[in-house]
Amino acid sequence: MATPLVIRDRNVMRKLILTNRTMGRRIGFVPTMGSLHAGHTSLVDQAVAECDDVVTSIFVNPSQFGPQEDFEQYPRDFDADFNLLAQHDVRWIFAPDVHEMYPPGDSTRIEISGPAEPYEGTLRPGHFSGVATIVFRLLQAAPSHAVYFGAKDWQQVLVVRKMVHDLKLDVEVVTCPTVRDTDGLALSSRNTYLSKSERKRAPTIYAALEQAEQNWCQGLAIDTIEQKLKDMLSAKEIQIDYADIVHTESLKKISEVSPNTPAIFLIACRVGSTRLIDNILLPSQALSSC
Amino acid sequence: MATPLVIRDRNVMRKLILTNRTMGRRIGFVPTMGSLHAGHTSLVDQAVAECDDVVTSIFVNPSQFGPQEDFEQYPRDFDADFNLLAQHDVRWIFAPDVHEMYPPGDSTRIEISGPAEPYEGTLRPGHFSGVATIVFRLLQAAPSHAVYFGAKDWQQVLVVRKMVHDLKLDVEVVTCPTVRDTDGLALSSRNTYLSKSERKRAPTIYAALEQAEQNWCQGLAIDTIEQKLKDMLSAKEIQIDYADIVHTESLKKISEVSPNTPAIFLIACRVGSTRLIDNILLPSQALSSC
């Protein structure tokens, strides 16, 4: 365990990374909004395993929150985050303030259509433009060989991959598996918003996704699979924003169970006033996993 | 005079430039839409003077043309452009086709508010997003130390500078003076659209700007200066899209002649069906140039 170096300045961060690249070191980057949990540290651990040096950013990005969303309330605890990252061998923590990333008068945004349009793109207008814009800027500040994201935010990963592809950015996008609590609830900084009783109901989300996976493998009709999931959540008073089986890349709705279509069940829902997202990859029925 | 190497592939271009950068060579980049004239070659000459190697791109960028604009009709003559660039010691010509720069499914755009909003931004919706997006991509393909633009497209220069600043791109933006024909008409590839009689009337644009400069130095009211220019153009049946004295950076209208405000007279007008833009920097009245 080494003490990470905390850097607040974009230019300093960039020079440090470029210098280390020049020395032949492979750099891994884990962008976060802080409030770190085992999902984040799993990204860090994978980056540490695959790279010589790991940089983690902690930045609650205002441009990806809508005006009615939880930017102000979003949990922040730098000291706890620092200690956790130190335990996981992060070399640098990039922790700029808002004006460092968005100086006064700043007016350039990256807009992505395609994968950024449906689902979260529709329900959170501007969200993915905010994500793309900050990821681009963070990658300018920390020009790394690889950047790590969690599969829980599936659509976000697609959007970042699209930007990296379309703009030919020199970085590998690595997707890491969702980390769950023992009862199945996907780890999320927003889980701290849940009351005790809401926290008890929330694991139903993943239980319903697992049931859907089984129904998928048994060849039930898509509509039936989706309806059964919705029924299971409704029984626990969980409100559904969307719950669709879609193509993993195009995010187009899948109308028939097909052994060769790469499919994912995407869900966004509200437990009380807390909005949570989750997903499950639906295995190819030709595989033994089905 | 050496024969330039023509490159069509973004990845090949990028590797070539990066290799030459590694060898310590300073690279200058002149992006163009071809149909080259002495305005373009003045950019090339300045780049050659300031850099070790110069790359020029020739790419008529569809994303900066509106649906009713002249993308199809825009003049193209690769052989003439090649010969001209060879005479001006360009080392590489980057001439990708449309699918190379915008592969099928491409969906990432760069959007800039602020300097991209008024004037051309209002009259040509999407134009500056197209400009920013292609300049970004060209700079990815040709990652140069400096990129050269002509002052005729003043607002374009501001937009590119804003993008470079906001996204912290590693490139110096160099603005070069407008090159004019002997009768004052600013060189433009679109001048070829003018009929003989239109070509005879077109120099009035710059004559009117020069008159405005004199009136500015004599301290006439802004409204009067602008009106006199409009009258002079109307007399030649030149239609005005806008003709405003504005702050050189903010593009905000200037209401009073002031010795310390950096001012520019921006004009867009139509001679027949050909749309032309031009501008003149208005000297500080404290300077002897006034």
Contact flag B167-A140 (C-beta cutoff 8 Å) = yes
Amino acid residing at A194? L
Mean pLDDT of the region B252-271: 92
The size of the A-B interface in CB pairs under 8 A is 68
Q: What is d(CA B9, CA B141) in angstroms, rounded to the nearest whole number?
A: 9
Q: Which residues pair with A270 in a beta bridge?
A: A239, A275
- Positions of B marked catalytic: 40
State the pLDDT at residue A286.
62
Contact flag A167-B141 (C-beta cutoff 8 Å) = no
* Mean predicted lDDT score pLDDT of chain B: 96
Query: In the structure, what pLDDT confidence band is assigned to residue B288 with cuts at 50, 70 and 90?
Result: low
Instruction: Report the residue of A11, A159, A166 to disrupt the B interface, i.e. the one with the largest count of B CBs within 10 Å.
Output: A166
Contact flag B166-A108 (C-beta cutoff 8 Å) = yes
Neighbours of B272 (CB within 10 A): 16
Which domains does chain B carry?
Answer: 5-176 (3.40.50.620), 189-280 (3.30.1300.10)
Q: Which residues of B3-37 are buried (b: 16+ CB within 10 A; e: fewer)?
A: ebeebeebeebbebbeebbeeeeebbbbbbbbbbb
Q: How far is CA B258 from CA B115, B215, B225, B229, B284, in A?
A: 22, 13, 14, 19, 8
State the pLDDT at residue B257.
85
Contact flag B109-A110 (C-beta cutoff 8 Å) = yes
Residue B255 tokens, joined: 């209401």
pLDDT tens digits, residue range A118-135? 999 999 999 999 999 999
Burial label for A21, CB within 10 Å (0-12, 13-18, 19+), is middle
Q: Which residues of B touch A110 (CB under 8 A)?
A: 108-111
The pLDDT > 70 percentage for chain B reads 98
Query: In the structure, what pLDDT confidence band is assigned to residue A1 with cuts at 50, 70 and 90?
Result: low
Measured in angstroms, the CA of B114 and the nearest CA of chain A are apart by 6
Q: What is d(CA B51, CA B20) in angstroms, rounded to the nearest whole number?
A: 12
Amino acid residing at A268? A
Amino acid residing at B280? I
pLDDT tens digits, residue range B227-246? 999 999 999 999 999 999 99
Q: Which residue of B has its CA nearest to A138?
A: B167
Helix/strand/coil for B51: coil
* Mean predicted lDDT score pLDDT of chain A: 96
Contact flag A107-B112 (C-beta cutoff 8 Å) = yes
pLDDT tens digits, residue range A205-259? 999 999 999 999 999 999 999 999 999 999 999 999 999 999 999 999 998 887 7
Q: Are A186 and A178 in contact (CB under 8 A)?
A: yes
The C-alpha angle A116, A117, A119, rounded to 5 degrees, equals 95
Q: What is d(CA A31, CA A21) in angstroms, rounded to the nearest whole number?
A: 19
State the pLDDT at residue A287.
59
Measured in angstroms, the CA of B142 and the nearest CA of chain A are apart by 12
Q: Are B3 and B92 in contact (CB under 8 A)?
A: no
Q: Is A40 a known active-site residue?
A: yes
The pLDDT > 90 percentage for chain A reads 94
| ipTM, two decimals | 0.86
Q: Which residues of A touch B141 (CB under 8 A)?
A: 168
Q: Which residues of A touch B167 (CB under 8 A)?
A: 108, 136-137, 140
Q: Are A269 and A243 in contact (CB under 8 A)?
A: yes
Model confidence at A261: pLDDT above 90: no
Instruction: Report the residue of B164, B166, B249, B251 to disrupt the A interface, i.e. the one with the largest count of A CBs within 10 Å.
Output: B166
Q: What is d(CA B155, CA B115) in angstroms, rounded to the nearest whole number?
A: 7
Instruction: Report the residue of B18, B108, B252 to disrupt the A interface, i.e. the one with the largest count of A CBs within 10 Å.
Output: B108
Helix axes A10-22, A127-141, angle to 10 degrees: 60
Query: In the structure, what pLDDT confidence band is assigned to residue A288 with cuts at 50, 70 and 90?
Result: low
**Long-range contacts, stretch A248-256, CB < 8 angstroms, 24+ apart:** A248/A154, A248/A281, A249/A115, A249/A158, A250/A115, A251/A115, A251/A118, A251/A119, A251/A155, A251/A158, A254/A222, A255/A222, A256/A221, A256/A222
Four-point Cα dihedral A202, A120, B111, B33, nearest 10: 130
State the pLDDT at residue A61.
96
Contact flag A141-B168 (C-beta cutoff 8 Å) = yes
Amino acid residing at B266? L
Mean pLDDT of the region A35-59: 98
Q: Which residue of A has its CA nearest to B113?
A: A107
State the pLDDT at residue B287.
59
State the pLDDT at residue B53.
98
Q: Which residues of B touch A113 (CB under 8 A)?
A: 107, 109
- What's A39's DSSP letter? H
Neighbours of A29 (CB within 10 A): 28
Nearest to A167 among B129, B137, B168 (CB): B137
Instruction: Report the residue of B13, B107, B117 to disrupt the A interface, i.e. the one with the largest count of A CBs within 10 Å.
Output: B107
Q: Which residue of A has its CA nearest to B250?
A: A105
Q: Which residues of B touch A116 (CB under 8 A)?
A: 107
Q: Closest Cα partner for A27 from A106, A143, A130?
A: A143
Q: How far is CA B126 from CA A168, B110, B154, B248, in A?
A: 22, 10, 17, 22
Nearest to A111 among B105, B109, B163 (CB): B109
Contact residues for A103 (Cβ-Cβ < 8 A; gap 6+): none
Mean pLDDT of the region A61-76: 94
Amino acid residing at A143? P
Measured in angstroms, the CA of B116 and the nearest CA of chain A are apart by 9
Contact flag A105-B112 (C-beta cutoff 8 Å) = no
Model confidence at B183: pLDDT above 90: yes
State the pLDDT at residue A257.
85
Query: In the structure, what pLDDT confidence band is assigned to residue B1 with cuts at 50, 70 and 90?
Result: low
Amino acid residing at A211? Q
In this predicted structure, which of A262-271, B146-155, B276-285 has the lowest mean pLDDT? B276-285
Contact residues for A67 (Cβ-Cβ < 8 A; gap 6+): none
Q: Which residues of A touch B112 (CB under 8 A)?
A: 107-109
